[in-house]
Amino acid sequence: MPLEWSGLSPELLLVVDRDSGEPLRSQLELGLRDAIRTGRLGVGERLPSSREFARMLGVSRGLVQECYAQLQAEGYLVTRVGSATRVATGAGAPPAPASPPSAPPRLLADFTWGVPDLGSFPLADWLWATREAGRAMPTSALGYGDPRGSAELRDVLAGYLRRVRAAAADPERTVICSGYAQGLGLALRALAGTGVRTVAYEDPGSPATVSSAASWAGMSAVPVPVDERGVDVRALAATDARAVVVTPAHQWPTGVALAPERRLALIEWARSRDAVIIEDDYDAEFRYDRVPVGALQGLAADRVISLGTVSKSLAPALRIGWMLCPAALTGTIVEQKQLSDRGSPTLDQLALARLIESGRFDRHLRRMRATYAARRTTLVAALAEHAPEVGVTGLAAGFHAVAHLAGPADEQALVAAARARSVGLYGMSACRASRAAEPGPVRLVLGFGNVGERAVAAGVAAVGDLLRGR
């Protein structure tokens, strides 16, 4: 697609050699022909005005006009009265035949996990917040700034996290990052610099993400089992890990909350081992049937790095996250952030600060809680109708659930059979360190964040017999 320019003349790199002995007009004509033939100038693309091109090249305007007229006569260029000179249709090199990209099959329902309702992104509020942030932003904010991020956003976030997560949030020890993956990588790189060589993670959990970040930091990663009360702290203590990645408020993917005694035991493990807990507070905003669970960081700010993002509350594409850092690690983490990318985009940070300050963020969260709660109700009702033998857990928070099939089944075969019926199902094996199917009944992780109520009901109805094992 050719670029569209409003008023201004586009720039074009073309070199003429005044010492070659070849006439400048010949050089100019040859250069433009080659640019068109090779596709550097595409069909319909606008050329600079004769006056502007002459200024760029340091030649007379008449020479450029003569060149344009010659190439127009040869069919390379086209000029209309009142319009710019453009590359003529058919003048360029024929494009290589490209096979059209195969569109993914349209699914009746896709229960993929970890994706919020993208259609409910508050675009009008975000545009308002961006305009407000840009209007009030001082010119000094356009520099590189503090690698920790905008002081304004850090201050607003600290207040928000103290209010809704009972976190011990200090703006001076808050670092803005571009999402969970970067935050985890920065945390592990900082810990590796202090001598930590092994990080543990929950199993099932996010083995690929943690293992990749650990490898990048020069560390090894070991799995620790999870049961109905959360991560097994005794099993953790049996490893040589001095760091652990946990999801205590709503364990990913089982959905259990870390039991109070396990919380205290985990903090004691960190203090006795001189270790650090990395808390992934990934969907803390969405709670339904139970009293909200505060952030673990609020109990031991000196031993916990808390990671949060707007990927679930707003949209993953915003790439905005934050780290609440212990005082002893803040400097090292800031250094890693500085080396990584010199800081996150400022205007987006200021827009998020405006969104939170204005109350529009809270309003969006209230609306989404109601939306996800309705989808959760629909999912439970559909399973009760079409596959009553299937148990469902992990429903107290977030926008995914775990379905426990009653009888023996082949997870991969079940997922493939559902896909043949245009329903996306996803097994627990992808969340396990071994990536192998679990012993015993199959468990499926059913995400309902980005699938509407009608699709939830229709999808469960379409695979009900598969879930029942018939």
Share of the chain above pLDDT 90, in %: 80
Side-chain half-sphere of 78: how many Cα atoms within 13 Å? 11
pLDDT at 470 exceeding the cut of 90: no
Residue 244 gets which letter from DSSP?
A: E
- The amino acid sitting at 148 is R
Q: Summarize pLDDT for 308-334 with one digit per residue, the tens.
A: 999 999 999 999 999 999 999 999 999
Q: Are 329 and 190 in contact (CB under 8 A)?
A: yes
Q: Are 198 and 219 in contact (CB under 8 A)?
A: yes
pLDDT band for 413, please (50, 70, 90 cuts). Answer: very high
Q: Summarize pLDDT for 325-373 with one digit per residue, the tens.
A: 999 999 999 999 999 999 999 999 999 999 999 999 999 999 999 999 9
pLDDT at 29 exceeding the cut of 60: yes
Q: Which pLDDT does position 132 carry in this prediction?
A: 97
Could you please state the CATH topology (level 3) that the domain comprising 122-358 is classified under. Answer: Aspartate Aminotransferase; domain 2 (3.40.640)
CA distance 420 to 341: 43
Q: Which pLDDT does position 284 carry in this prediction?
A: 78
Tokens of 304: 């916990």
pLDDT band for 436, please (50, 70, 90 cuts). Answer: confident
**Alpha-carbon Rg of the chain, whole angstroms?**
29
Q: Which pLDDT does position 96 carry in this prediction?
A: 62
Q: Mean pLDDT score of the chain, rounded to an integer?
A: 92
Using a 10 angstrom Cβ sphere, with 0-12 exposed, 13-18 middle and 19 or more buried, the burial of residue 8 is: exposed
CA distance 444 to 381: 17
Q: Summarize pLDDT for 275-321 with one digit per residue, the tens.
A: 999 999 988 788 876 667 889 999 999 999 999 999 999 999 999 99
Cis peptide before 23, with omega less than 30 degrees from 0?
Answer: no
Tokens of 437: 């199917």
Strands (E), 261-303: 276-280
3-class state of residue 7 by DSSP? coil
Q: Summarize pLDDT for 195-245 with one digit per residue, the tens.
A: 999 999 999 999 999 999 999 999 999 999 999 999 999 999 999 999 999
> In CATH terms, are 6-98 and 109-114+363-468 the same topology?
no
Could you give phi then psi for residue 427, rounded to 5 degrees? -85, 160
CA distance 240 to 170: 31
Q: Summarize pLDDT for 156-175 with one digit per residue, the tens.
A: 999 999 999 999 999 999 99
Strands of the sheet with 174-177, listed across from one edge: 174-177, 321-324, 304-309, 276-280, 243-246, 198-203, 220-227, 230-231
- The amino acid sitting at 106 is R
Could you give phi then psi for residue 275, rounded to 5 degrees? -115, 175
Mean pLDDT (whole number) for 59-70: 93
Q: Where are the domains of the chain?
A: 6-98, 109-114+363-468, 122-358
CATH code given to domain 6-98:
1.10.10.10
Q: Which pLDDT does position 277 carry in this prediction?
A: 98
Could you please state the CATH topology (level 3) that the domain comprising 109-114+363-468 is classified under. Answer: Aspartate Aminotransferase, domain 1 (3.90.1150)
pLDDT at 23 exceeding the cut of 70: yes
Q: Which pLDDT does position 276 carry in this prediction?
A: 98
